[in-house]
A = this chain, B = another copy of it.
Amino acid sequence: MRSIMTSHAERIRALGARATPARLAVLRLLETAERALSHHDIEAALAGTGFDRVTLYRVLDWMVENGLAHRLTDAQRVFRFSLAASNAPAHNSHAHFRCEACGKVFCLDQVLVQAPALPQGFSGKSVELCITGQCARCEGQDAQQS
């Protein structure tokens, strides 16, 4: 685990960029996150560090551009970011689950998505599957309440 963390800086520099505190912090945060984080989530989690809003946006953009993270748009029209598995070139087929109750978005890595047949002339590049419903925790709470 330690070797992974120290290699963060090297991995960033290998992309021809600088290993700045902001990039390291976001990279570490996404690595430990079990779900796709919004910019708001990230800002809150790193509140103590004093990074500027804009810096976080730019770090996230940079990560997406360089294939370190994936950006998806949730149903509330906010961007969410999840770390891209470094050894998953076929990460195109990514499934997500959004909980209607708590609003969190989970990555369903074990769900395989295959591209369906398209109309004549259309060419698909990536497929995104998003399931909406209730997550395990909210499902339990909901049963208690109502």
**Are A131 and B116 closer than 8 Å at their CB atoms?**
yes
Using a Cβ–Cβ cut-off of 8 Å, how many residues does chain A contribute to the interface with B? 40
Residues of B near A116 (CB, < 8 A) are 95, 108, 111-113, 129, 131
Q: Measured between C-beta atoms, what is the minimum distance from A7 to chain B in Å?
A: 30
Q: Which partner residue on chain B sits nearest A79 by CB separation?
A: B77
Contact with B along A79-123 (1 / 0, CB 8 A): 100000000000000010100100000001011110111111111
What is the CA–CA distance of A126 and B74 in the complex, to the nearest angstrom? Answer: 14
**Are B111 and A136 closer than 8 Å at their CB atoms?**
no
The one of B74, B100, B121, B140 that contacts A121, using a Cβ cutoff of 8 Å: B140
What is the CA–CA distance of A62 and B113 in the complex, to the nearest angstrom? Answer: 33
A interface residues with partner B (beta carbon < 8 Å): 73-79, 95, 97, 100, 108, 110-113, 115-137, 139-140
Additional A-B contacts beyond A124-B131, A129-B130 (17; CB < 8 A): A73-B74, A95-B116, A97-B122, A97-B124, A108-B118, A108-B119, A111-B118, A112-B116, A121-B135, A121-B137, A124-B133, A125-B133, A125-B134, A126-B133, A128-B129, A128-B131, A129-B129
